[in-house]
Amino acid sequence: MVSARAIAIAKPFVFAAALIPLALLVGKILSDQLGTNPIETLNRYTGDWTLRFLLLTLAVTPLRQLTGQQYLLRFRRMLGLFAFFYACLHFSTWIGIDTLFDWDEMVKDVIKRPFITVGFTCLVLLIPLAATSTQAMVRRLGGSRWRALHRLVYAIGVGGVVHFWWLVKSDIREPLIYATILAVLLGYRVWSYVRRRSAAAAPVSSSAG
């Protein structure tokens, strides 16, 4: 059993580790190592880390259930907020560097380019999840409503993979890896749900027999 003190000590290290991708990106920018297409590099890099933190967040519950390590839940909120943080960076590179704050162009992109439509929708859906991530909001909304709202993360995960898949168009190897990981994580949840329902129905069936 991991103590509360150990978790409190570990959290700053997890927080610092989650900032390493940002530090590496800043290093590339300062050393002019973004390649021949810096805008594409920035967009892909921040988008990749958004997806990675989303998948890490979704992996917490299966890992907790499979290992019995309940303390893992204490890191889920932080990982989810870092997914939102990198999503905001991803969005910022698009509006500030790619489109240069051309609002008309941005609106046209969201309407006419499906991968941007999906990506923008995912960002909008992440906002209420980030805003309600605190314990105070859990109490305010009530456990059942809070859980129902945060199930949006499943749709966001699917949308994030679709956004990436439609972006690359031809070379789908990397989005296929993300899609496979997501399928495993969501498939585990479906299997776990069916298993719980079957276990709950078993005593009723037995007594009826």
CA distances (Å), origin 165, targets 3, 17, 159: 42, 27, 10
- The token pair at 72 is 């893992």
pLDDT in tens, the chain (209 residues): 678 888 999 999 999 999 999 999 999 999 999 999 999 999 999 999 999 999 999 999 999 999 999 999 999 999 999 999 999 999 999 999 888 889 999 999 999 999 999 999 999 999 999 999 999 999 999 999 999 999 999 999 999 999 999 999 788 999 999 999 999 999 999 999 999 888 877 665 555 54
Length of the chain: 209
Among 43, 54, 88, which residue's Cα sits nearest to residue 157?
Answer: 54
Angle, helix 38-67 to helix 76-93, in steps of 10 degrees: 170
- The token pair at 25 is 């990106």
Cα angle 45-185-187, degrees, rounded to a multiple of 5 = 140
Angle, helix 38-67 to helix 152-168, in steps of 10 degrees: 140
pLDDT recorded at residue 203:
63
pLDDT recorded at residue 208:
52
Report the predicted TM-score, pTM, of the whole model to 2 decimal places. Answer: 0.91
Q: How many helices (H) and strands (E) does the chain have?
A: 10, 0
